[in-house]
Amino acid sequence: MEEKTYPIPNVFLATDTQKPIPHCIQCDHDLMLGDRFYMIEKIFKKYPNLEKTEILFEYAVCVTCYEAMKDKLSVESRDNLANYMLKEADFESLMKRIEKHPDEPEAWLTHCLFKGTPKEEMTEFQVGAYFKGDRMVTNMLPPFLVGGAATEEMNALLSKETQDEMDDFVGQHFGIPPELRKDIILI
């Protein structure tokens, strides 16, 4: 995909301020300086009976911390996730959405990257994208949406060691004990 930047789509703005997430969750680096790439990930849960969607987690992590986090994953987990992504990701459908809506990044986030499930049929999903300063970048990976079914499958591929690392991250930053962490994978 050619390098193109976009204003940060609304879905990736901080929920409470509707402004860019200013700091890395791990090292507190000022992401608005524009000197590092970073990733934003948000995890949503829909409550159909209440006609409400809530954000369970949202965070930004600079590429330096992200790489350090990835290095903590067990070799087994990294290999399993890489194989899953190579085998299951449907980049062709994502590219068709991008071609159809080239200047509307939020329109690219309508289906699970792995299962193809429409977002409106999901009760749990997460979105992610890469940024630099106050711009979304697409040269690393286009914005993506992962549904709950794919998240469960990826979680099943993780070693106990990696699950413990993710539990520690969620507990440290969001205060949620491991027994309450349900099928969340930090991509």
Q: How far apart are CA 116 and CA 134, in angstroms?
A: 29
Average pLDDT of 157-185? Answer: 69
Q: Looking at the predicted structure, is the pLDDT value of residue 165 above 50? A: yes
pLDDT, tens digit, 9 for 90 and up, residues 110-132 = 999 999 999 999 999 999 999 99
> Is the CA virtual torsion 157, 128, 123, 181 positive or negative?
positive
Residue 53 lies in a domain: yes
Q: Looking at the predicted structure, is the pLDDT value of residue 90 above 90? A: yes
Residue 187 lies in a domain: no
- Tokens 């507190």 map to which residue? 28
Nearest to 42 by CA among 15, 5, 73, 17: 15
Residue 186 lies in a domain: no
For residue 180, the model assigns a pLDDT of 52
Q: Amino acid letter at 96?
A: K
Q: What is the mean pLDDT of the chain?
A: 89
Residue 120 lies in a domain: yes
Task: Let me know: does 160 contact 174? Beta carbons within 8 Å.
Answer: no
Residue 97 lies in a domain: yes
Average pLDDT of 97-103? Answer: 94
User: In total, how many domains does the chain have?
Assistant: 1
Per-residue confidence band for 1, with pLDDT thresholds at 50, 70 and 90: very low
Per-residue confidence band for 40, with pLDDT thresholds at 50, 70 and 90: very high
For residue 111, the model assigns a pLDDT of 97
Residue 171 lies in a domain: yes
Per-residue confidence band for 85, with pLDDT thresholds at 50, 70 and 90: very high
Q: Looking at the predicted structure, is the pLDDT value of residue 91 above 50? A: yes
- Domain of 40 in residue numbering reads as 5-178
Dihedral of the alpha carbons of 44, 19, 116, 47, in degrees to the nearest 10: 30
For residue 166, the model assigns a pLDDT of 77
Dihedral of the alpha carbons of 176, 126, 141, 91, in degrees to the nearest 10: 140
**Percent residues over pLDDT 70 in the chain:** 90
Residue 185 lies in a domain: no
